[in-house]
Amino acid sequence: MKTYPCSIEKALNIIGNKWSFLVLKELYDGKKRFNELKRTINGISPNALTTTLKHLEKNAILKRTVYPTVPVTVEYELTEKGQAFHSVLKEMKKWGAEWGDVTL
């Protein structure tokens, strides 16, 4: 009794949750560090950010790189798969700008 998910479900499962969208948005500007993301993303807790980043890394959306400085430096950047999702974000941004305040 197995039904397999449509492409949209696949996409949603890979992305995960709402935080992911916002993390992705930040990373389109270029690689970022943990605290940078934490500062930039309004209201995210370290806990939620950790979870989100791990999920995205597991799904090959981003790559995590550790530099053995003191203290340690960790950078996050998008993979090709993550970059490809940019088209979705762009459409979403356009829609949000055009309709975000419309009540009809």
Residues within the interface to a second copy (CB under 8 A) = 3, 5-12, 14, 18, 21-22, 25, 42, 60, 79-81, 84-85, 87-104
Report the residue number, 46 or 94, with the smaller CB distance to DNA.
46
Report the residue number, 66 or 94, with the smaller CB distance to DNA.
66
Closest CB 66 distance from a second copy, rounded Å: 19
Maximum separation of any 2 CA atoms in the chain, in Å: 55
CB 52 within 8 Å of CB 20: yes
User: Which of DNA, a second copy, none has residue 31 at its interface (CB below 5 to 8 Å by kind)?
Assistant: none
| Residue 74: CB atoms within 10 Å | 14
CB 72 within 8 Å of CB 64: no
User: Which of a second copy, DNA, none has residue 28 at its interface (CB below 5 to 8 Å by kind)?
Assistant: none
Helix, strand or coil for residue 37? helix
User: Which of a second copy, DNA, none has residue 99 at its interface (CB below 5 to 8 Å by kind)?
Assistant: a second copy
User: Which of a second copy, DNA, none has residue 47 at its interface (CB below 5 to 8 Å by kind)?
Assistant: DNA
Which residues does 79 contact at the CB level (< 8 Å), separation at least 6? 60, 61, 62, 63
